[in-house]
Structure 1
Amino acid sequence: MPDVYATITEAPASVVGVVGDAMELRATEPQQQRMLADYLSRVRFPNAARVLEVGCGTGAISRRLVQVAGVAEVVGVDPSPDLLDRARQLAASTPGLSFEEADGRDLPFDAESFDVVVTHTVISHVPTPERLVDEAFRVLRAGGTAAVFDGDYSTMSVATADHDPLQACVGAFASGFVNDPWVVRRLPSMLREAGFDELDFRSHGYAQITEPAYMLSVVDRGASVLAAAGLIGEGLASALSAEARRRENEGVFFGHIAYASLLALKPGVR
């Protein structure tokens, strides 16, 4: 099943709503907030910085970026009109923040028009991600920073033993919601080939054992993918979701994803 994010403009409103809810849920999770704060603290934001977020979705990260000291303007782009409508509603009273409909692989901006380009949990969903990286390089000013953050979804697990049936949900989630679960491992070479240098690559561990709302959503969405593909019935899909909640209630739930951040500079003097 293709990554729903990669085909978000073709998805029904109900699916887009679920995707948007997951974006907002993840943005409120303390571990996610700490990982975001960690890599943003390493970005060189010049005074009165103009920042582009590619694949902004509901605008959760754009709303955080516009609060960074020194940032004057944030532009969020996404191919989904429905997600952008929600982004505009949530940021209606936020100065310095705007949203435009665009594909990150073909940006409607002049060359060297931004100081920082951020792609937060986007690159793993993009077919031909090299085109997105090339576009980020093009629109950055000399000395500007590209900040890429994403999950290494090949590491994702909710299993607590061999043959754990919940792990099938994780695998189905990856097939239905991630275009390339291995792309994080190719990011350094991809950015170097685009012309970036001074790469700063770091790993971030993410685990949930109590109040695992996001990882439960992974199980639920994976179970739905399996049912939609006809691999299991609705009864088993419901049972898998119920099993995840039993583990949560009994204090034995485990969920983990390794994330990575990569900062890279466009050569030249800002």
Structure 2
Amino acid sequence: MHEFPSGEYAHSEIMAGDVMVHTLAKQADAVWPREQWWFERLDSTAYPNVLDVGCGPGEITLRLARDLGFSSITGMDLEPRIIDIANQRARDVDNVSFTVGDATALPFEDNRFDLAVNRHMLQVVPSPEKVIREMARVVRPGGLLYFLVEDYGMINGAPVVPDLFWHRIQPGLQKRASDLFVGRKCYGLLKSLGFEEIGCHYASPDTINTPAEVWEGIFRFWSEGYAAFISEACDLPVEEAKAHFQAYIDDVHHPEGYVVWHLPVFTVRNPT
């Protein structure tokens, strides 16, 4: 099973900060247009009750509630401050609610939801399989699970070559219960947990379909939010971590530069 040396969640301070709020907004601008089609094709009347696990400040939760016809959306996150922000944003939205909770011990009864969504999260939790099991528990038989999973080896660019940086810092971040390459492992993890009906597609923002200012915002907020964390965890000068993110920014503004972020999306039918 997929376990890390540390069982502690190491990202709480970062996830509760203002930088992460801005990061998630920019990521939604880049990624959501590449994944929205999957939700639009669903018959929302067949999946009326939706859970967004690790919802953050509600960027995607509110899009699901406002735009796609689902009857009831529940967003849940570990960080109370982030849930406060989500509740403020949702004051005029009748079909959404937010609550604080632990994704490894969801505060909901069995079979409560028709669809459970998990985005940009499995790479920072100590035990992804616990999150997946809990999501399956609270989704009815025949319901759906949706995972948008990060894998930093699937960020490609030119002239910058990012692979060496991500592989260099993975051992240090693994000690902080983080897996930068969980995206490529997710199919095997789902199979090992007994799921059979598994689909996969990719959400792939790049510098052709996504404006440069969105990309710059993503990499700038990653630098502000994570450069110091990477430096401490990986015994790496903070200036070197910042320089890596700046290289991405330089790429997206280079007249011949190109960046693409492939995010695997796994969709799973809960066993009946």
Same topology, TM > 0.5: yes
Instruction: Tell me which residue corresponds to 2:267.
Output: 263
Asked if 1:101 corresponds to 2:100, the answer is yes
Give the partner amino acid of 1:16: G
Q: 1:135 Cα deviation (Å)?
A: 0.5
Cα offsets for 1:47-103 (capped at 9, x unmatched): 461100100011111001113544111111111111111111122211111111111
Instruction: Tell me which residue corresponds to 1:27.
Output: 28
* Mapped partners of 1:218, 1:161: distance in 2: 16
Instruction: Tell me which residue corresponds to 1:147.
Output: 146
CA RMSD of aligned residues (A): 3.4
- Output aligned runs, 1:64-143, within 5 Å: 64-143=63-142
Instruction: Tell me which residue corresponds to 2:62.
Output: 63
| Secondary structure of the corresponding residue to residue 207 of structure 1 | coil
Asked if 1:251 corresponds to 2:255, the answer is yes
* C-alpha distance 143-137 of structure 1, shift in aligned 2 (>3 A): same
Cα offsets for 1:137-176 (capped at 9, x unmatched): 11011110001112222222445156x8x97489659949
* Mapped partners of 2:156, 2:223: distance in 1: 10
- Output aligned runs, 1:204-215, within 5 Å: 204-208=203-207, 210-211=212-213, 212-213=215-216, 214-215=218-219
Instruction: Tell me which residue corresponds to 2:10.
Output: 7
* Mapped partners of 1:16, 1:49: distance in 2: 32
Q: 1:35 Cα deviation (Å)?
A: 1.9
Higher strand share: 1
Instruction: Tell me which residue corresponds to 2:188.
Output: 189
Instruction: Tell me which residue corresponds to 1:17.
Output: 18
Q: 1:227 Cα deviation (Å)?
A: 5.1
Could you tell me which runs of 5 or more consecutive residues in structure 1 were left unpaired when the two chains were aligned. Answer: none
Asked if 1:232 corresponds to 2:233, the answer is no
* Mapped partners of 2:241, 2:144: distance in 1: 43
Which stretch shifts more, 15-24 or 202-211?
Answer: 202-211
| Secondary structure of the corresponding residue to residue 202 of structure 1 | strand
Which stretch shifts more, 238-247 or 120-129?
Answer: 238-247
Residue-pair matches, total: 259
* C-alpha distance 207-92 of structure 1, shift in aligned 2 (>3 A): same
* C-alpha distance 120-66 of structure 1, shift in aligned 2 (>3 A): same
* Matched-pair contact (CA < 8 Å) for 2:198–2:267: yes
TM-score norm. by structure 2 comes to: 0.79
TM-score norm. by structure 1 comes to: 0.79
* Matched-pair contact (CA < 8 Å) for 1:137–1:194: no
Give the partner amino acid of 1:257: W
* Matched-pair contact (CA < 8 Å) for 2:47–2:114: no
* Mapped partners of 1:78, 1:170: distance in 2: 29
* Mapped partners of 2:47, 2:247: distance in 1: 50
